[in-house]
A = this chain, B = another copy of it.
Amino acid sequence: MIVEAKSAQFDTIALESGASLSPVEVAYETWGHLNAERSNAILITHAFTGDAHAAGISHENGRPGWWDNMIGPGKAFDTDRYFVICSNVLGGCQGTTGPGSINPATGRPYAMSFPVITIRDMVRLQKMLIDHIGIPMLLCVAGGSMGGMQALEWAVSYPEMVRCAIPLVTTWRHSAQQIAFNEVGRQAIMADPDWCGGDYYDKKPPARGLSVARMIGHITYMSDESMREKFGRKLRDKEKVGFDFGVDFEVESYLRYRGNQFVGRFDANSYLYITKAEDYFDLTNGTGRLVDAFQKDDAFTKVDTRFLIISFTSDWLYPSYQSQEIVRVLRRINGDVAYCDLQSNYGHDAFLVDIAEQSEIVRGFLDSTARIARAA
């Protein structure tokens, strides 16, 4: 399944901060076909360092998509039945306008003059894209981690456009610990002299700082147990410790490799902007915005969006209790919410790699939502 990168451009987008961006471009890919009723569209929202290439083989570089095990013919997001869309987030560096894009006012990259963005802004741009494609209502918005925040934000910002939402391994507000991990990553980047206040686009990028930030991330994406199973205390040279500062343990080698590899595909300023958007994310907004959104008319209005919330037992970055908070608030307002805490040792990465049970649950949930939609 070869897939081509697409792109849409809009004159302007108004941002939550009060700033605006003109113009704004959004990179996206699609799989399957929109039916005549335009009722079978699913928007996939990607995690922090993901991109629009969620499935299939990239026409440009031959790489498989990041959720190729979940999206395709006969898979959980079945492209024989559904029209699936994924776009790169606002602030990203994979085709959508971000800090590395050219500011038309100066002819140079925005860098740190790029306005601070939020999850709501990301979703606003996705809404513009969905309108542009001509989809009146999405069958589903689904995503994990930061993608789950976007799925929740869709249900709050545009509830009339979302039949069902599948927020996986996520939270309705970033916690102090989650902010702390992001902040250390940002500090690692900004501590690198090559960062140059963000103006590195015509020089060498802050590779060392970005690499350290990514290494921290990788630890948080795995679990203690999955690290033990994958690496244990296995030595790199299989003989003995080196009594030096070279690579002794395989886990050290893995982290250095993943850190270096990341530098080639991700922009450090996007790292700063996107983590900040995560940290600002708070659907409670002090006063329970998620609740408010569904209580506009009546305290116990039936929420029309159906929810499937999924967490994994060994995910300590977005622990299960955070998903359960969302379930509780939705139940409190009589929302239609199903919740599964799936058993896995893979930590936060489980939604990307340990997908057998997740696939079946998503498949059934989409199927029942489509049946309800047809009956309506």
A180 — which chain B residues lie within 8 A by C-beta? Answer: 215, 218-219, 227, 251-252, 255
29 A-B residue pairs with CB within 8 Å: A116-B244, A174-B233, A175-B224, A176-B232, A176-B233, A176-B249, A177-B219, A177-B222, A177-B227, A177-B228, A180-B227, A180-B251, A180-B255, A183-B251, A183-B256, A184-B215, A184-B216, A184-B219, A184-B255, A187-B255, A187-B256, A188-B212, A191-B208, A191-B209, A191-B212, A212-B212, A224-B316, A233-B282, A245-B276
Binary CB contact string for chain A from 228 to 243 against chain B (1 if under 8 A, 0 otherwise) = 1011110000000101
**A215 in contact with B191 (CB, 8 Å):** no
In the complex the two chains form, is B219's CB within 8 Å of A181's CB? yes
Give A116 to B240 CA distance when docked, in angstroms.
Answer: 14
Main secondary structure of the interface of A (DSSP, over half): helix
Q: Which of B208, B209, B259, B272 contacts A245 (CB 8 A)?
A: B272
A247: min CB distance to chain B, Å: 9
> Is A81 an interface residue, CB under 8 A from the partner?
no
Q: Does the CB pair A228–B176 fall under 8 Å?
A: yes
Is A69's beta carbon under 8 Å from chain B? Answer: no
Given A179-B252, A280-B241, A187:B211 Cβ within 8 A: yes
* Chain B minimum-CB-distance residue to A186: B245
> Does A73 belong to the interface (CB within 8 Å)?
no
Flag whether A279 is at the interface (Cβ < 8 A): yes
Separation of A77 and B183 alpha carbons in the complex (Å): 39
Task: Please report the C-alpha to C-alpha distance between residue A125 and residue B290 in the assembled complex, in whole angstroms.
Answer: 59
Is A17 at the interface (CB under 8 A from chain B)? yes
A289-317, CB < 8 A from B: 316
